[in-house]
Chains A and B, each alone.
Chain A
Amino acid sequence: MEAILGILISALLSENFILVKFYGICPFMGVSKKIDTALGMGMAVTFVMALASAACYGINLILVALNLEYMQTVVFILAIASIVQVVEMFLKKSVPALYKALGVYLPLITTNCAVLGVVLVNVQEGYNFLLSVVNGAAGGLGFTLAIVLFASVRERVNKADCPECFRGFPIALITAGLLALAFMGFSGLSIF
């Protein structure tokens, strides 16, 4: 129980994948113009991360049994790509609005290093099945927290009267930097 809580806190705040570890910046910058789509993207990533953690835990057992640990990265990418494809088809069928809103960024979860990152962290830390899934889901929630916070700031910044040369991506990057700075305040935070 304590381990789960520790993982939750660190994945959400002190080891946040985006703002502390700087993984998965592509969708973070790309899908954060509106809170709605940011939330959708966050949910999709959370789902994929949890699923990938579960699937890759099983695959890793096979690899370890056959002494093929050096194949981890390749095999994990393969697994993640397949899972993303299935999620994409599922969304297209059942939530077409979200599918449209996510657009090109949905297939990009395939190459989202945050997903691969969370799976590799699971292996490195030697988490069991439950802790792997919790870490995946919490990492995804941390991603969601960061992207939604960022999107809400960006929505306001877009309406603000900022100098011409900073409009659009420049001010977004500065915003991301400040947000990351704020999250650095959580570093070293440990409850147990």
Chain B
Amino acid sequence: MEILIAIGILGSLGLIFGLILSAASKVFYVETDPRLDQLNECLPGANCGGCGYPGCSGYAEAVLSGEAPIGKCASGGNECAQAMAAIMGVKAVEVTRKVALVRCSGAKQYDKDGNLTSGAKVKGNYEGFKDCLAASRVGGSGPLSCKFGCLGYGSCTKVCKYGAIKVVNGVAQVDEDLCVGCMACAAVCPRNLIVPVEPNRNVVIACASLAKGAATTRACTIGCIGCGLCKKICPQDAITIENNLARIDYSKCDNCGLCATVCPKKLIKDSKVETLGDPMAQPVNGPSV
């Protein structure tokens, strides 16, 4: 008998609380914008933070409140931007896909005796914490002779959520098929080597050395010495030499690839002849100087 009373009391208490809760859910009902869920569905859900908001739902909320523009999601690309624009009832601009580029060609190659045949020279053996920022602070400018080159301790590899960046022969390389262009790697690179470029289109300058020609040559076999041969041959006047480093103005560049053929250090990469991000690949036409 007692057990029946217990069951009855507990059951009726549960029923009362249930009724109170269902009444409260009616009284305190909050209307949410149905577009928020739709926006969330458009986004890739990778929470890479490339847009500058805390995760995909943060960005969706910012778009809904009109605080953020559509098309900031590098991972979703054009498809995502158009879908979001359709939900918000606005027209989105075409978003071109960008991928990360590591502006360093100093991948180290050794002959069988252990002598450096090409790439950046090493000042000393760094045996500390395997992190680029830590390594860059050792001994003034890190273990590399080049003050601007890739240290190769893989800080970018650690932050990449897509497995698109790997260190090969001491220099980070981007796999363009996997890279979504969130640029999380750029934020952690202590040497600011990583920049966004359009994949399979650009001629790029894969070096960031601002040192004078002689110093660059001493530090690395594949460094931009600012010789200006590329500038002279460029039919579009798209190349400028600034602080001993060649730069391409992409609003003028028509991707003819002439600069890549004349570069004596072979650090200008033309994606028509080789894959971006493979610093060791030689141009097919070879230098014609």
Contact = CB atoms under 8 A, between A and B. Distances in A.
B2 A79 contact: no
A74 B27 CA distance: 28
Contact of B6 (A68, A78, A79, A82): A68
Given A66-B9, A75-B10, A93 B20 contact: no
B9 A78 contact: no
B28 A92 contact: yes
A82 to B, nearest CB: 4
Contacts of A85: 21, 24
Contacts of B21: 82, 85-86
A62 interface: yes
B30 A93 contact: yes
A139 B6 CA distance: 30
Contacts of B10: 71, 74-75, 78
Interface string A60-82: 00110011100100110011001
Contacts of B30: 92-93, 96
Contacts of A71: 6, 9-10
A contact residues, range:
20 to 34
A93 B9 contact: no
Nearest to B5: A66
Contacts of A62: 9
Nearest to B8: A66
Nearest to A85: B21
A79 B17 contact: yes
B89 to A, nearest CB: 25
Contacts, number: 43
A78 B17 contact: yes
A59 interface: yes
Given A68-B6, A74-B10, A93 B17 contact: no
B179 to A, nearest CB: 31
B6 A93 contact: no
B28 A89 contact: yes
B25 interface: yes
A22 interface: no
Interface string A147-187: 00000000000000000000000000000000000000000
A66 B21 CA distance: 26
Contact of A78 (B13, B24, B29): B13
Interface of B: 2, 5-6, 9-10, 13-14, 17, 20-21, 24-25, 27-30
> Which 9 pairs across A and B sit closest by C-beta, in order of nearness?
A89-B28, A82-B17, A93-B28, A86-B24, A89-B24, A92-B30, A93-B30, A85-B21, A90-B28
21 contacts: A59-B13, A62-B9, A68-B6, A75-B9, A75-B10, A78-B10, A78-B17, A79-B13, A82-B17, A82-B20, A85-B21, A89-B24, A89-B27, A90-B24, A90-B28, A92-B28, A92-B30, A93-B28, A93-B29, A94-B28, A96-B30
Interface of A: 59, 62-63, 66-68, 71, 74-75, 78-79, 82, 85-86, 89-90, 92-94, 96
